[in-house]
Amino acid sequence: MGAAAGALLLKMVIAAFSGMGAATICHPLDVIRVQMQTEGNTYKGFGDAAKGIYKKDGLKDGLFAGISAAYLRQWLYGSCRIGIYAYLLENAQNANIANGLDKNAIPLSSKMLMGLTSGGIGSFVGTPSELALVRMSNDKKLPVDQRRNYKGVGECISRIAKEEGVPGLFRGAPATVLRACLLSACAMGITSEIKMRLSGSGLFGEDGKYLGGIPLLFVATLVSSFAANVVANPFDVVKSRMQAVSKSKDGSAQYSGMVDCFLQTVNNEGVLKLWSGFVPAFLKLAPYTVISLTLTDKITKVVTGKEAL
């Protein structure tokens, strides 16, 4: 039992550090995504949003606003999403070996269920950091008199708890968890499946080891990222909108819940609004997934001698 817990913890730590590396590079795309998805957006597209945010607030307070929340998110959400998945996948492979089967004889549905489970757990644990990320990324977009001017992720979370109550830290949790379940099921499950199938195709060298297996991982994660983004983007829009607003002084909220936010968005702005921010979301998710999963796979190989995916 202790050995299993240690193995899980190691995988989660590796996943957290890998996620931080990816977040450092991809965070500006997250800021652009959030500002395009929340209300009050006047940007004409991805390029216009990037240019506008940089021109208005620069790098530190603009495109890298909320980076501390992004790092915290990797330790709460990323560590679970990737670490738990890698742990479940390894257990399934070991079970196959013990039963005299090919270790990779794991159905895609099972891999997606593992991804759904790890993503759901990680997203619930990481909801406060996700909320802080949205609030801090969106703050500069608000009118000056409505800005919260958070000094860091710690102050952001403590102020939300104090001003809106501890339950306020889990605002948008249903949409956050649903989004993460769908995204992780596709991103993790499909990545493993494509990697397994292409590794024996000869297109990427013997057993997919051409250039250390990085081209194979790149293709697998790119395809899985696109599929994940198509499925998860509507929940991403709802999540961002619910988390960007706070309760008014009388305790009322703009949205009564996830379904209400979904219906208001569709009725007021059309169904395609649910895929707003798709380009920056994909441009962020694709390199983030490529970098984080590649780092996880390679670091795990160095530390344990086994592949993570």
Encode pLDDT of 203-255 as tens digits: 888 888 888 888 998 999 899 999 999 998 998 888 888 877 766 666 667 88
Nearest CA to 162 out of 154, 173, 152 is that of 154
The DSSP symbol for 260 reads H
Encode pLDDT of 51-94 as tens digits: 998 998 898 888 998 898 889 999 999 999 999 999 999 999 99
Computed on alpha carbons and rounded to an integer, the radius of gyration of the chain in Å comes to: 20
Nearest CA to 68 out of 32, 31, 38, 34 is that of 31
Tell me which of 258 and 266 has the higher pLDDT: 266
Span 269-281, average pLDDT:
87
Asked whether the beta carbons of 170 and 127 are under 8 A apart, the reply is yes
- Please report the sign of the dihedral spanned by the C-alpha atoms of residue 72, residue 78, residue 80, residue 84: negative
Nearest CA to 183 out of 130, 223, 228 is that of 228
The DSSP symbol for 273 reads G
User: Residue 96 pLDDT > 90, yes or no?
Assistant: yes
Q: What is the pTM of this model?
A: 0.78
The pLDDT of residue 134 is: 83
Encode pLDDT of 21-51 as tens digits: 999 988 898 888 888 877 667 788 888 988 9
Encode pLDDT of 143-172 as tens digits: 888 888 888 899 999 999 998 899 888 887
Tokens 């809106």 belong to: 164
